[in-house]
Structure 1
Amino acid sequence: MTDENNKDVLERIANALERLAPPAANPVDLSSGDAFLWDGRTPKRIAPFQPTDIDLLTGIDPQKSRLLDNTSRHAQGHAAHDVLLWGSRGMGKSALAKSVVRALQAQGKDIALIEAPSDHLETLPALFELLASTKRSFIIFIDDIGFSEGSGEPRTLRSMLEGGASQRPANVRLYITSNRRHIVSRQMSEQDDPVNPRDAVDDQLALSDRFGLRLGFHAASQDDYLAIIARYAETHGLDYDRDDALLWAKQRGSRSGRVAWQYIVELAGRADKFLA
């Protein structure tokens, strides 16, 4: 084969590889935009960012007030905590984390939310590096975090929260939700471990201790559940029957904000109405 033929073959191979390779992603402007999704490599803008109106979140007023205050401090460049929102499913942990950011944006505060899946923890230092180059305040939101037994991820997260080489920058705070108060489950087998069992437990509890603000969300009482429904029903112009609302919760074995919203969706469907 001649040199000319070799050159032609190589050019065709290079062109084919170029067609197969994904185009380079345009860098996202982190100085604007309300919310982003971190996919482990690059942040992508979430548009539109329309979480539940914070005024609609009912039955969690103390948690709402404390998280709004902490996030407002951070948005103004003041001292603020990383936050663990823990407790019962469907009680508004995730909704509140997003809603406080949106409420502050509506007030003109320069703050944005970045949602990061819990299976991308090892990539967060790269995200920190990107965010550290801006003066804007960011909340990194990790929803429903959990770790498998024996995983090294709890220590990775601890390092990010305090004292490690991958520590998050000053303009970033972590807001994390978990069904467990201490994030990592405490197995009875730990008590049977003959080698420093107390150290094993302390190592797990040390993770939740790294959060300066820990907000608990507990199962809704009957009155709280009905109050949530009443607030939603009023906002969307729906009528509801108290006994019917209680039956809805009983059939699902749970009273929570999520179950209340599902009941509102049911009411709107019965009334031939659309919910945005």
Structure 2
Amino acid sequence: MITPEHQAALDRIASALERISPPAPPPVDLEAHPAYRWDGKALGVVQDFRPLDYTLLAGIDAQKEACLENTRRLAAGHAAHDVLLWGARGTGKSSTVAACVGHVQRTGGNLALVEVATDDLRSLATLFALLRETERPAIVYIDDLGFDENFGGDARALRSMLQGGAAARRGTVRLYATSNRRHIVPRHLSEQDDPINPRDAVDDRMALSDRFGLSLGFHALDQDAYVAIVQRYADAHGLMVDAKEAIQWATQRGSRSGRIAWQYVVELAGRAGKTLD
């Protein structure tokens, strides 16, 4: 017979075990939210998904239109590509992905964005298995994808999943990734001559980027394009722009990009005592 003292001790032990190893969180509703985050073990809901308005993206018209068209096809249940968005930092790669998803959702498309917030890409097999539980189309999004020249297990696992194995994912789950490199892995001039690093090894690494059916390049902006982006952002928020000051702002930071343009507009809004949504 368990005495009250023994029962109290058991309760304390059970509570301690729960603190050490808490129960798994309940599964999220894959139909209910616009965006989710995968941490390598579980899916969570992105509570405040507010992407940039698609119409505000300037200087990258061809890239954003191609990304939007592919995203629309996916939401409609039609054949769609995996997408690699590559190029200079701050040129709008991540903003393009979020803006296209947000635009499709606002115009009636039933589409989910799943951001991968882990470096363990081998966990994607588990994520794809979870996404098989819903018919809702989904974009699995990896930001700042890149591998060193060792091309380890994560890269090979990703390439295998991109190859289209029947057990890996549904046809309405596509992978969107951004990278600073066109071929995702770094390349060296020595590859051309080094007998220890033959051409087939180079092809093995480059084959990862070839798995993406749609590759969109984002390049450094010229001065006119940069000022046009600043002007579009400023007009949307009722701010006055001094083009010379905007150029000086970029010069001081050593870069002209959509990110730098937005930072200048934030400065303008702060001076004017305004907030930016």
Name the residue aligned to 1:30: 30
The code of the aligned residue for 2:212 comes to: F
Moved more, 13-22 or 138-147: 13-22
Between the aligned partners of 1:16 and 1:179, the Cα distance in structure 2 is 46
Name the residue aligned to 2:119: 119
Between the aligned partners of 2:270 and 2:119, the Cα distance in structure 1 is 36
Name the residue aligned to 1:78: 78
1:176 counterpart = 2:164: no
Name the residue aligned to 1:265: 266
Between the aligned partners of 1:11 and 1:245, the Cα distance in structure 2 is 64
Between the aligned partners of 1:118 and 1:205, the Cα distance in structure 2 is 23
Q: CA deviation at 1:268?
A: 1.0
The code of the aligned residue for 2:182 comes to: R
Name the residue aligned to 2:257: 256
Name the residue aligned to 1:225: 226
CA deviations on 1:132-166 (whole Å, 9 max, x unpaired) are 12110000010001113312322111101014476
Between the aligned partners of 1:251 and 1:196, the Cα distance in structure 2 is 41
Secondary structure of 2:176's partner? strand
2:120/2:154 contact within 8 Å kept: no
> For residues 145-156 of structure 1, what are the structure 2 equivalents within 5 Å?
145-150=145-150, 151-156=152-157
Identity across aligned pairs (percent)? 58
CA deviations on 1:203-252 (whole Å, 9 max, x unpaired) are 11111111110000000111110100110111111111111111111111
> For residues 204-215 of structure 1, what are the structure 2 equivalents within 5 Å?
204-215=205-216
CA spacing shift, 1:264–1:15, aligned 2, 3 Å = closer
Moved more, 145-154 or 107-116: 145-154
The code of the aligned residue for 2:70 comes to: N
Structure 1 length-normalised TM? 0.93
Secondary structure of 1:265's partner? helix
Cα RMSD (Å) of the superposition?
A: 2.1
Q: CA deviation at 1:118?
A: 5.1
1:186 counterpart = 2:187: yes
Q: CA deviation at 1:42?
A: 1.1
Name the residue aligned to 2:61: 61
The code of the aligned residue for 1:271 comes to: A
The code of the aligned residue for 1:146 comes to: G
1:40/1:124 contact within 8 Å kept: yes
1:161/1:168 contact within 8 Å kept: no
The code of the aligned residue for 2:176 comes to: Y
The alignment of Structure 1 onto Structure 2 pairs a total of residues equal to: 275
CA spacing shift, 1:23–1:246, aligned 2, 3 Å = same
Between the aligned partners of 1:132 and 1:271, the Cα distance in structure 2 is 49
Moved more, 188-197 or 256-265: 188-197
Secondary structure of 2:178's partner? strand
Secondary structure of 1:119's partner? coil
Secondary structure of 2:262's partner? helix
Q: Which segments of 5 or more consecutive residues in structure 2 lack a partner in the other structure?
A: none
Moved more, 150-159 or 81-90: 150-159
Name the residue aligned to 1:237: 238
